[in-house]
């Protein structure tokens, strides 16, 4: 083979005769001892840093180009259009709030009204309204969205902010976000009845990820709640509708940041304990495509122009350089347009929270621009109320008191309304046409680009293992993205069959023991490539966080891979699943350079099964696909609400275009096997359930007289799973 023309480099590793490396040792040591690959454990970090920095610089250039108010209005209109598209759909009309006052706490200088409203039909919001006494009306009103505290509005610092405002003559409305206080979304596991006791960030990630599957966004839901609660505040006779402000801390500060640009009724904004450069944190704080479109935190602050805006930040947890950078960009914009005194920044010597040291500068700013500039901004002694005192609903939870809809109920309805009702194809031409429509949907939703780069391949070792030749090789899928692989070919006198690419989200080593699937496939005559797609196996991240180490839901939802990489990729219009599908397509393209047939069978286990189905739709070189312990349907995740599927295996906005069963139907009449498909909890599904999910695929294959080409298998053990895969392959290739 002419390796020079095929982009292949030859290297070598020396294994002494005494070492006799085992198959699994060869599988985990492709990159071992090679200095140029020592950063494999942070490969994705470096890749994301490269693409993100490019967009960050471009945004700074665009912002610096603003010289006049006209320049700014063009800039703001363009980015706000992109922002609204990013948020996704909100209700088209405002429905009755149906407010109820469930109780009142009377004090000498203020009263607290316990309010429950419906921000949309049967979607309940609980709030405390702090109303000053013996003040001339109408008074200014301030909305307080809460940060991530388990008891929401009742936490000491938030009720203190509201009480402080009331004592200074402001009507303050502090309301529970979804997933906090009286609006918990996961009271118990619906299948086991056990309390999930999720922290607010985990609550938000759990339902926020489902939102993204359906084209919704949790921040849009939170903003709509804020819009409707401002409607209520504005409707009160005590409130001056021309003097409305907003302040919130942490997650509430983030709502303040993202809501203010969209709400002209807000005249003064004071976000606290928030602002970096780009979205980060849990689900509602991550904006898809924000780097791609320029939706930085600095831009959001700029969009408040010319309204007074004070950012307050803690410093005891460290100096937040990115916060300072964003403020100075916004201050520069205000100064350029002649309103520099209206953009302000206060740093406090406190830890993260909404403490007195934050509340007093908030009050001074509100007084300066919304109330009485001469009023006292110093905080008096406050009365702290218990959670029970401030409780609005009879049971303390809207789910049990009012049978409120959950965020996931909104997602289920949207998914069921938007998922295409596809008719089964009756001919190969119809199936091909259906596949063509899916191709564009897949490319759009996964952010995949068509592979065009020259492939760099390095064979680093070649060993004999019994009657098998085993090669260790590395593909450079794209710049500085390396895919280690093991290539096995039988030297016994067996007929050579179609090559197989084997991808497993546990890493290639999981199948490379003696007697494992890799071994059995090679023995059966299939040249087999076991590959680690980026982030798996030898390139799995070593950049673990404390949340990763906690395990359970915390790691699943907030760990580096799910939150850091899954969300990090989306900032630039990419997805991690799309990157891995791209890697699979590049591996397919590499086969001829390795002396193998272009046509190939894909076997994907776990998340790699999802990637294999997508790759097969995109590549004519794939002659058959087998998924193994792979999610049966994204609708399982949407309907199940409690799930263990990783966020990075979810395709954004997927249910508005297709689901996994659609991909299988689009592959007809190419053979497809589903071995032990799993549900949203990664438990193997009953065969009848899988058959119901894949009725479209079954009917399509039947219409094309290819019934035997579509196989659903449920097996009791991994050994039986492996045997069924080998037997399936023997029948088709």
- The first and second tokens of residue 499, run together, are 């090559």
pLDDT per residue as tens digits for the range 582-596: 999 999 999 999 999
CA angle 647, 198, 208 (to 5 degrees): 35
Distance CA 31, CA 507 (A): 13
Q: Is the pLDDT of residue 11 over 80?
A: no
pLDDT per residue as tens digits for the range 202-242: 899 999 999 999 999 999 999 999 999 999 999 999 999 99
What value does the mean pLDDT take over residues 698-702? 98
What value does the mean pLDDT take over residues 268-281? 89
Q: Is 620 helix (H, G, I), strand (E, B) or coil?
A: coil
Binned at pLDDT 50, 70 and 90, residue 9 comes out as low
Distance CA 87, CA 219 (A): 7
Q: Is the pLDDT of residue 1 over 50?
A: no
Lowest mean pLDDT among 205-219, 308-322, 609-623, 632-646: 308-322
Termini Cα distance of the chain: 25
CB atoms within 10 A of CB 159: 25
pLDDT at 17: 46
Q: Are residues 364 and 165 in contact, defined by beta-carbon separation less than 8 angstroms?
A: no
Binned at pLDDT 50, 70 and 90, residue 8 comes out as low
Binned at pLDDT 50, 70 and 90, residue 2 comes out as very low
pTM of the model: 0.94
Q: Are residues 304 and 101 in contact, defined by beta-carbon separation less than 8 angstroms?
A: no
**For the chain, what is the radius of gyration of the CA atoms?**
29
Binned at pLDDT 50, 70 and 90, residue 19 comes out as low
Binned at pLDDT 50, 70 and 90, residue 27 comes out as confident
Asked if omega into 97 is within 30° of 0 (cis), the reply is no
Residue tagged 């940060």 (tokens): 147
- The first and second tokens of residue 545, run together, are 């966080």
pLDDT per residue as tens digits for the range 491-508: 886 777 899 999 999 999
Q: Is the pLDDT of residue 716 over 90?
A: no
- The first and second tokens of residue 712, run together, are 């659903």
- C-alpha distances in angstroms, 595 versus 208, 257, 526? 46, 56, 13
CA angle 636, 255, 86 (to 5 degrees): 55
Cβ partners under 8 Å of residue 617, min gap 6: 435, 438, 439, 442, 663, 666, 667
Q: Is 1 helix (H, G, I), strand (E, B) or coil?
A: coil
Q: Is the pLDDT of residue 3 over 60?
A: no
CB atoms within 10 A of CB 166: 24
Q: Is 218 helix (H, G, I), strand (E, B) or coil?
A: helix
What value does the mean pLDDT take over residues 132-142? 98
Q: For the chain, list the domains and their CATH numbers.
A: 8-49+419-732 (3.40.50.1820), 74-415 (3.40.50.1820)
Distance CA 287, CA 465 (A): 50
Residue 631 DSSP symbol: B
pLDDT at 4: 34
Lowest mean pLDDT among 555-564, 632-641, 651-660, 668-677: 555-564
pLDDT at 55: 86
Residue 382, strand partner residues: none
pLDDT at 195: 75
Distance CA 376, CA 719 (A): 75
What value does the mean pLDDT take over residues 540-546? 80
Binned at pLDDT 50, 70 and 90, residue 34 comes out as confident
């Amino acid at each position: 083979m002419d390796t020079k023309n095929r982009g292949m480099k030859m290297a070598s590793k020396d294994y002494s005769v005494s070492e006799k490396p085992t198959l699994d040792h060869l599988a985990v040591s492709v990159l071992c001892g090679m200095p140029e690959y020592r950063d494999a454990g942070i490969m994705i970090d470096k890749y994301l840093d490269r693409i993100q920095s490019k967009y960050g610089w471009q945004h700074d250039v665009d912002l610096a180009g603003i010289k006049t108010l006209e320049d700014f209005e063009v800039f703001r209109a363009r980015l706000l259009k992109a922002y609204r598209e990013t948020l996704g759909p909100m209700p088209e009309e405002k429905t009755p709030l149906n407010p109820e006052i469930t109780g009142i706490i009377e004090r000498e200088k203020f009263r607290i009204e316990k309010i429950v409203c419906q921000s949309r039909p049967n979607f309940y919001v609980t709030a405390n309204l702090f109303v000053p006494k013996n003040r001339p009306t109408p008074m200014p009103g301030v909305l307080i969205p809460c940060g991530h505290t388990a008891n929401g509005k009742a936490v000491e610092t938030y009720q203190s902010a509201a009480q402080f405002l009331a004592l200074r003559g402001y009507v303050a409305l502090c309301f529970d976000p979804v997933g906090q206080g009286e609006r918990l979304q996961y009271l118990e596991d619906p299948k086991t009845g056990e309390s999930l006791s999720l922290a607010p960030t985990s609550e938000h990630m759990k339902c926020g990820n489902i939102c993204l599957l359906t084209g919704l966004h949790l921040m849009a839901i939170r903003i709509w709640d804020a819009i409707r609660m401002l409607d209520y505040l504005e409707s009160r006779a005590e409130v001056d509708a021309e003097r409305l402000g907003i302040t919130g801390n942490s997650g509430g500060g983030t709502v303040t940041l993202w809501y203010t640009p969209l709400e002209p009724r807000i005249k003064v904004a004071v976000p606290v304990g928030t602002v970096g450069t780009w979205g980060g944190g849990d689900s509602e704080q991550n904006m898809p495509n924000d780097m791609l479109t320029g939706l930085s935190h600095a831009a959001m602050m700029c969009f408040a122009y010319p309204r007074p805006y004070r950012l307050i930040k803690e410093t005891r947890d460290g100096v937040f350089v990115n916060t300072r950078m964003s403020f100075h960009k916004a201050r520069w914009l205000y100064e350029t347009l002649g309103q520099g005194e209206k953009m302000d920044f206060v740093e406090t010597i406190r830890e993260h929270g909404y403490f007195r040291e934050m509340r007093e500068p908030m009050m001074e700013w509100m007084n300066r621009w919304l109330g009485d500039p001469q009023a006292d901004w110093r905080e008096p002694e406050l009365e702290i109320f218990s959670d029970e005192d401030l409780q609005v609903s009879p049971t303390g939870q809207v789910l049990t008191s009012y049978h409120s809809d959950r965020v996931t109920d909104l997602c289920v309805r949207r998914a069921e309304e938007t998922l295409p009702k596809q008719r089964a194809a009756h001919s190969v031409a119809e199936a091909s046409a259906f596949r063509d429509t899916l191709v564009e949907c897949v490319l759009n939703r996964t952010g995949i680009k068509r592979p065009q780069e020259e492939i760099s391949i390095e064979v680093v070792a070649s060993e004999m293992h019994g009657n098998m030749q085993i090669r260790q090789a590395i593909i450079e899928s794209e710049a500085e993205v390396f895919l280690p692989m093991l290539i096995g070919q039988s030297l016994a006198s067996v007929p050579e069959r179609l090559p197989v690419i084997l991808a497993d989200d546990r890493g290639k080593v999981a199948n490379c023991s003696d007697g494992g699937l890799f071994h059995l496939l090679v023995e059966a005559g299939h040249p087999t490539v076991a590959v680690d797609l980026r982030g798996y196996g030898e390139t799995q991240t070593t950049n673990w966080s404390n949340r990763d180490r906690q395990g359970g839901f915390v790691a699943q939802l907030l760990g580096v891979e799910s939150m850091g990489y899954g969300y990090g990729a989306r900032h630039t219009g990419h997805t991690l699943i799309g990157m891995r599908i791209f890697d699979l397509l590049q591996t397919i393209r590499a086969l001829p350079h390795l002396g193998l047939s272009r046509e190939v069978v894909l076997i994907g286990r776990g998340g790699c099964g999802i990637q294999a189905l997508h790759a097969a739709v995109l590549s004519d070189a794939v002659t058959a696909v087998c998924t193994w312990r792979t999610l049966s349907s994204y609708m399982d995740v949407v309907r199940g609400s409690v799930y263990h599927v990783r966020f990075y295996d979810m395709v954004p906005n997927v249910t508005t275009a297709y689901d996994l069963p659609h991909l299988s139907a689009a592959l007809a009449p190419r053979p497809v096997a589903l071995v032990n498909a799993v549900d949203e909890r990664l438990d193997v599904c009953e065969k009848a359930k899988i058959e119901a999910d894949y009725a479209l695929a079954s009917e399509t294959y039947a219409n094309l007289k290819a019934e035997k080409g579509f196989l659903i298998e449920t097996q009791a053990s991994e050994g039986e799973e492996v045997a069924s895969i080998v037997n399936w392959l023997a029948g088709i290739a």
